[in-house]
Amino acid sequence: MATQVAFTLEQLAGLPEDGLLHELDEGELITMTRPVRKHGRCQARLLRKIGNFVADHNLGEVSTESGYVLARSPDVLRGPDVAFVRAERLIGIPDDGWPELAPDLVVEVVSPSETASQIHRRVRQFLAAGSQSVWVVYPDTQTVDVFESTGQHRVMEIGGTLTTPALPGFELTVAAIFED
C-alpha cells in the first residue's frame, strides 16, 4: 500500500491559478467548484449585514472565501464563506498570504454537494483553532446551526434571531438571510 504524502501550504501557494477554490484538510488537497446562485445570494446577504455592522462600529475585518491557516503539520487551510476577525487580532498580520489564526465568527453556507460529516469536520476545526462562533446556514431548509466555543449548539429557524459573542450587540434575523 502506498503512503500518501501530505500536501503543504507552500505547495498550495505554488499551484497555478485554475479558477477553482482549494483548501487543505490535514494535508489533503480539497478542490471545490464555484457555488450556485442560491448559495451566493445567502453569502452576499450575510456579508452585507455582518460587514455593515463591523464597519459601522470599526470592529475589524470581514472577508469572503479568504484562507485561514487553522493548523500546521499537517496543514489545515479553510476558506469560510464569510468570516469576521476582530481588529486587535489583525495587528501585524500582512495583507498577502494566509493568516495563521481562526476567525472569531465563521459562516458556512452549505452546498448540496457537501456531506454532514464534511460540515461537522469544518466546524470542529474552526472551533479547535479558536473561533468563538460558527454558523452553518442551510438554504434548502432555511435554518442555521449555531456552534459556540463554549460547546453550546442550537438550531435557529425562520422566526429566530442570530447573535454571537464575537459581535456584541449584533442581531440578524434568520429570515433576513433567505429573503428574496
The 10s digit of each residue's pLDDT in 47-106 is: 999 999 999 999 999 999 999 999 999 999 999 999 999 999 999 998 888 999 999 999
For the entire predicted model, the pTM comes to: 0.93
Query: Distance between CA 138 and CA 33 in Å, rounded?
Result: 18
Least confident among 71-75, 145-149, 169-173 = 71-75
Which of the two residues, 37 and 165, has the higher pLDDT score? 165
CATH number of the domain encompassing residue 83: 3.90.1570.10
**Within a domain: 7:** no
- Environment class of residue 117 by beta-carbon count within 10 Å: exposed (0-12), middle (13-18) or buried (19+)? exposed
For residue 11, being part of any structural domain is answered with no
Neighbours of 156 (CB within 10 A): 20
Q: Which residues contact 85 (CB under 8 A, 6 or more apart)?
A: 60, 61, 63, 99, 101, 103, 104
Mean pLDDT, range 120-135, rounded to an integer: 98
What SS3 class is residue 132? coil
Phi, psi of 76 (to 5 degrees): -125, 120
**Quick check: is 8 in a domain?**
no
Q: Considering the chain, what percentage of its residues have pLDDT values greater than 90? A: 73
Determine, yes or no, domain membership for 142.
Answer: yes
pLDDT reported for residue 47: 98
| Mean pLDDT to the nearest integer, 5-15 | 85
The helix or strand, by DSSP H or E, that contains position 45, with its residue range, turns out to be helix 37-56
Number of domains in the chain: 1
- For position 108, what pLDDT does the model report? 97
Q: What is the pLDDT of residue 4?
A: 59
Residue 72 lies in a domain: no
Q: What is the mean pLDDT of the chain?
A: 93
- Nearest by Cα to 42 from 85, 69, 75, 82: 82
